[in-house]
Amino acid sequence: MDLSMKNPGMKLIEGNHLSITRATVAPFSANLLPKAFVLDSFFPEWENTKVYVYATPEIGAKFIECKLAIEKDGGSKERILNGYENFLYIIRGQVEVIISGKTYSMEKEGYFWLPPMVDFEIKNKKEETAEILWVRKKYQETKFFSVPDPIISSVLDITPIHSPAEEEQQCVPFEKNRGFDMAMNMLTFYPGVTFPFTETHVFEHGGYFLDGRGNFWINGINYEVHEDDFCYMAPYAPHYVVAYGPEPLRYLLYKPVNRDFSLD
């Protein structure tokens, strides 16, 4: 099957009908942001870079998630040291990353996680625009575990964990090292596969869809999801996902982990 023809009707609608959109905002439940309807922004710390902002405290999130589209000769104007823990994943393209003065060449599927005290820079020296997913949050220290060391790796090097529903690749080893307070999991659902039960839990989610398409049922509403969509899901919202096909549905999922909650 020619995968370029998957759901051509939806692509036609999103490209030509201003009054039709899959974009949805449901307070305290979910926000679906399809690629076709997200406007780009500008951050002064970056040059030749479009920013697509997905999750911020303005929608109730306790983290920030955005996508950087870095054109040739673009990137950070100086080293980034923002006081947050930072996770960056290369969606497309190739970039030069400088972490604490050491240079790395990173391409599609590569990623890095940095604790708050570690700085980084990013430059795109290639013709192709590089797209990078960026997640930031305040790191919650605990006296019981040390702050983890930086991680520089690739999803291609992670052995999947198999469950009745999906394949999971843990970009951040939060189960082996409880010093981590966030998870970034690459989840793959094969066509027709879904959760063994409807989930509801305290953890908020940020999900960026990389491949395939499917249905995300959240708090009684069905959301059709496609490649390059983003979905924010609030704490306790009941949910499940099912992949449509013809190819697997794959997305990168954020959630907070390994910490107690506060009344402050």
What are the tens digits of pLDDT across the range 157-185? Answer: 999 999 988 999 999 999 999 999 999 99
pLDDT at 14 over 70: no
Q: Does residue 1 carry a pLDDT above 50?
A: no
State the Rg of the chain over Cα: 18
pLDDT bin (cut points 50, 70, 90) of residue 20 is: low
The percent of residues in the chain predicted with pLDDT above 90, rounded, is 81
CA gap 36, 22 in Å, rounded: 9
What are 96-144's pLDDT values in tens digits?
Answer: 999 999 999 999 999 999 999 999 999 999 999 999 999 999 999 999 9
Task: Decide: 175 and 222 in contact? Cβ < 8 Å.
Answer: no
* Of residues 195 and 66, more confidently modeled: 66
This prediction has a pTM of 0.91
**Residue whose token pair is 């930072």:** 86
- Give residue limits of the domains in the chain: 3-256
d(CA 50, CA 69): 5
The DSSP call for residue 58 is G
Architecture of the CATH domain 3-256? Sandwich (2.60)
Tokens 């590089």, residue located: 130
